[in-house]
Structure 1
Amino acid sequence: MTPHDTKGAAADSFDPLRPKLIRVAYRMLGSVADAEDVVQEAFIRWMGTDRAAVREPEAFLRRTVTRLCIDQLKSARHRRETYIGPWLPDPLVEEEPDEDVTLPLMLALERLSPLERAAFLLHDVFGVAFDEIAATLDRDAAACRQLAARARNHVRQARPRFRVEQQHGLEIAQAFFAASRTGDMTALGAMLADDVSVHSDGGGKRTAAIRLVMGFRHVMKLHKSLAVLFRKYGSHLLRTGFVNGLPGFVTMEGDGEIQTTALEIADGRVVAIYITRNPDKLRHLSALH
């Protein structure tokens, strides 16, 4: 068998699983590029594996990807600690919301150890049995249950307490875009909760608040200033949708760069605004230009 034949045979069994593996890797890492790199590394390893001896390719590859992600998280933790301003995961923009892993939950996962994150995601989100998780993490099943339970306690507050009907969420997102860009502060203020916050991720590469903006008064003051810039330089709506499971929209801003905005909504009011401006995190959305 030639190397080309080997690669082709490996791809035939790997490629149908690639979307699932990328989903696991992205939920672990919060980075589209890093997830794709990890999955490609798993494919390279798959080519060198005695595939005939693997009884369950999906479980084998999920285990490989998870272990690679855990290794990646060790270096990622240092990068997050030195990151300029608030860190947000790369935005995934979809037609339908993924309500299992919303943006607030992904931020909560950042506070977990890599093993806790893996145990929680594999079991609670992807439905993997603890026996497989034990083999993946090289721990016994009881220890993996404890890891998942500890993680569950840490992230409980980040799970959505109020399900927002999809169409209603999109309508709020559209109204938020219109009010914020035209400077209609009355309409904007009516949408915001008293304890609303703004999380803006520019990564030191585009202008963004380097700290969280907390509270109704401060958020309104920020948007008054932004409205002046929007009117002067423009802000074009590319699409509405669900950004990491939250209602939101993608815009082309006056500097020629894409931006995403996601809105966390509770009791009909916006309680948090997540804005991603770091161009490194938006490259996968370039097709929306």
Structure 2
Amino acid sequence: MTSTHEHPHYGDPHGHHREHDDAGQAEILDLDAEVLAGHIASITAWLPLTTGPRQIVDLGCGTGAGTFALLDRFPEARVTAVDASVGHLQVLREKACARGVQDRVRTVQADLDDDHWPDLGTPELVWASASMHHMARPDRALRSVHDLLAPGGLFAVVELDGFPRFLPADAPEYRPGLEERAHRATDSFHAEHVPHRGADWGPMLAAAGFTVEDERTVTVNIEGNRSEAVGRYAHTSLQRIRGAAAPALSAEDLAAFDELLDPTGPRSILRRDDLAVRTERKVWAARRA
């Protein structure tokens, strides 16, 4: 959710982006949470914990995908949800009230790249989903998490292996491979602005003093006909990808994108029956000695 997320966006879902982008980013994070809810639940169920934690911190919580999955998984726990985005935290609080769990959630607005973090308690579990790769100084952030955790506490790092793909490789029929060309067009952006995307966090966790107890790769392949939300997720995601990739795409590719993204047009992505959400998530479970 992000934190995300987990999420096909360009920029930072956890607050290092411009605030006016909050609404669009929140929509992506909410769709991500809805479509991938089962996968998030499977990750929280897998965590190597012998007893349920009472205090949890969700770093880069976005609009709460991880927060609410953790509250469901650990009914005795309270979650401190941390994000730099005031807008995302407001959405999260509204969701908590709607679910009747507002007494179990505390929100904290903070930039995790700051030298000094606010008081986040002494959690037994820290969760960071799709947020660590946005850190300017991840080594410093990892040490901060290590110092924050209770002795024997667990740190769960969840990262996307890449942004989800939605279309078959030979689609659309009139411009095959369009989606992959758009992703390639943004590679240089990511190499410059998000250099830790796709990193192996195991060695970095060990260097920060953690013992990596387990890691796994979660393969995501959700057929579009199983959820109406997949179409909206694909439309919103590809809209953002088109914006980021536009300078490097041909006029023909841009025209094809615009046909896909026209919600009322005959070639709209919302009319396709061959959509799927395909990606991988990698998870590291690291213990503070």
Shorter-chain TM-score: what band? under 0.3
TM-score (normalised: structure 1): 0.27
Higher relative contact order (CA 8 A, sep 6+): 2
TM-score (normalised: structure 2): 0.27
More helix by share: 1
Larger Rg: 1
